[in-house]
Amino acid sequence: MARNTKTGQVLEMMVLPALEMGGYFVEKQVRLGERLGGGKHYADILATKGDESIIVSLKWQQTSGTAEQKVPYEYMCLANTVNLHEDVSRGYIVIGGDGWTKHNFFLGELKEWVNNDANIQVLRLDAFVAKANQSAL
């Protein structure tokens, strides 16, 4: 059976209106530079308000699968980007869907395991939408 890759687009369509309602200017698929270990690094969304830019990475997990294994690497790549680019103040990894088995670890403990002081947060979709809509990122 072919994988459904449209779920990421659905997640994006849920997040974009909240960012726009919060007064953020949004750009999709913005090249950030290189990923750790090589390869091009793109932000799913780059949200800008005033002179502050925020990277938003979207991860959807509808059933058990590989998205969970990607979250720690994405966290490290976002932290690296925030540290290298003074115009980017922080990053968010937004996790949506109900197929996550390690979400408690990502939401509460991952930061302790990554030796970095960059301002990166993992949030569930509903919490991120509330913050974005209130212009509180």
Helical spans, DSSP H, in the chain: 7-21, 67-84, 103-108, 110-113, 125-133
User: Phi and psi for 22 in degrees, rounded to 5?
Assistant: -80, 0
Domain boundaries defined on the chain: 7-133
Q: Give the pLDDT confidence of 65-105 residue by residue, as tens digits.
A: 667 788 888 989 999 999 998 889 999 999 888 877 777 77
User: Phi and psi for 68 in degrees, rounded to 5?
Assistant: -60, -35
Among 3.30.420.40, 3.30.470.20, 1.20.140.10, 3.40.1350.10, name the CATH number for the domain at 7-133: 3.40.1350.10
Question: What percentage of the chain exceeds 70 in pLDDT?
Answer: 91
On the 0-12 / 13-18 / 19+ scale of CB atoms within 10 A, 67 is: buried
DSSP label at 36? T
| CA distance to 23, 90, 95, per residue, from 48 (Å) | 9, 11, 21
